[in-house]
């Protein structure tokens, strides 16, 4: 089985309020993106890694993240598209023709573990598609546009989806090609695969596998990384 990891790091991170995209900001002395790549480099099943970055940041990524850290599995660093869905599709088309399974992961989720990557790959290989998620534990409210609570929703059976999201290659390609053909836009890869009619297995994730969006998230990530060492 041959596995390609597509690392989606093409956002500009406006909510961070920095000129440098957040994936290149330092986290415990290393670019955030480097922390994300470390476990993918270490997982034996992953044969190649494709990193997608904002246009104009390709050389910075190669020199500061890839070459400086000696990542051997990164085969391509290329610019992403206008939206996340465009970016992932670019990565899919760049994946090796011999790949059987594709792992899609947010470049700004630096706390993903080798174990989580491995179980995602195994589950997708067995079932076709696997998505890391955690069950919703907080109370869920539906709110009006002017900030008034309309009703309380039942949280049973509701999960918060993370990445990695992992698929047999032919499944994710069929889902993406159908979505673009029909001008359908989804919020994640699983939405496209659901729409194409394929079942998706949940892989239990962790609240520590957070997506870095705000300065507060950076501080949490620093604490979690220190504790994991």
Q: What is the CATH number of the domain that holds 135?
A: 3.90.550.10
Q: Which carries the bigger pLDDT value, residue 73 or residue 156?
A: 73
Q: For residue 23, is pLDDT > 70?
A: yes
For the residues 138-162, what does the mean pLDDT come to? 94
pLDDT band at 33 (very low <50, low <70, confident <90, very high): very high
Q: Specify the long-range contacts of residues 216-219, CB closer than 8 Å, at least 24 apart.
A: 218/25, 218/27, 218/32
Q: Is residue 15 predicted with pLDDT exceeding 70?
A: no
- What is the structure's pLDDT at 229? 61
| Interstrand relation of 129-135 and 201-204 (parallel, antiparallel or unpaired) | parallel
Residue 205 CA to residue 219 CA, distance in Å, equals 21
Q: How does residue 17 score in pLDDT terms, banded at 50, 70 and 90?
A: low
* Owning domain of residue 140: 3-228
Write down the mean pLDDT value for the chain: 95
Return left, alpha or beta for 39; rule: phi > 0 is left, psi -120 to 50 is alpha, else beta: alpha
The pLDDT value recorded for residue 185 is 96
Structural domain total, the chain? 1
**pLDDT value at position 117?**
98
pLDDT at 32: 97
pLDDT of residue 208 exceeding 90, the answer is yes
pLDDT digits (tens, 9 = 90+) for 92-148: 999 999 999 999 999 999 999 999 999 999 999 999 999 999 999 999 999 999 999
Local confidence band at 227 (pLDDT 50, 70, 90 cut-offs): confident
Give pTM, 2 decimals: 0.95
**Mean pLDDT in residue range 163-176:** 98
Contact criterion met (CB below 8 Å) for 58 and 24: no
């Amino acid at each position: 089985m041959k596995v390609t990891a597509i690392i989606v790091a093409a956002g500009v991170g406006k909510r961070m309020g920095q000129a440098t995209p957040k994936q290149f900001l330092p986290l415990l002395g290393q670019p955030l993106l480097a922390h994300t790549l470390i476990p993918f480099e270490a997982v034996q099943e992953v044969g190649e890694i494709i990193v997608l970055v904002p246009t104009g940041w390709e050389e910075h990524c190669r020199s500061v993240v890839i070459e400086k850290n000696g990542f051997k599995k990164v085969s391509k660093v290329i610019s992403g598209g206008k939206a996340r869905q465009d970016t992932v599709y670019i990565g899919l088309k760049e994946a090796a023709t011999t790949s059987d399974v594709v792992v899609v992961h947010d470049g700004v989720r630096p706390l993903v573990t080798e174990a989580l990557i491995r179980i995602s790959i195994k589950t997708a290989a067995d079932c076709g598609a696997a998505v890391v998620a955690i069950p919703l534990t907080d109370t869920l409210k539906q709110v009006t546009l002017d900030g008034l609570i309309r009703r309380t929703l039942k949280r049973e059976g509701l999960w918060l989806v993370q990445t990695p999201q992992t698929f047999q290659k032919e499944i994710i390609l069929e889902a993406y090609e159908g979505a673009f053909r029909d001008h359908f836009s989804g919020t994640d890869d699983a939405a496209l695969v659901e729409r194409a009619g394929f079942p998706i297995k949940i892989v239990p994730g962790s609240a520590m596998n957070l997506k870095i969006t705000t300065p507060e998230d950076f501080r949490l990530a620093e604490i979690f990384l220190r504790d994991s060492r």
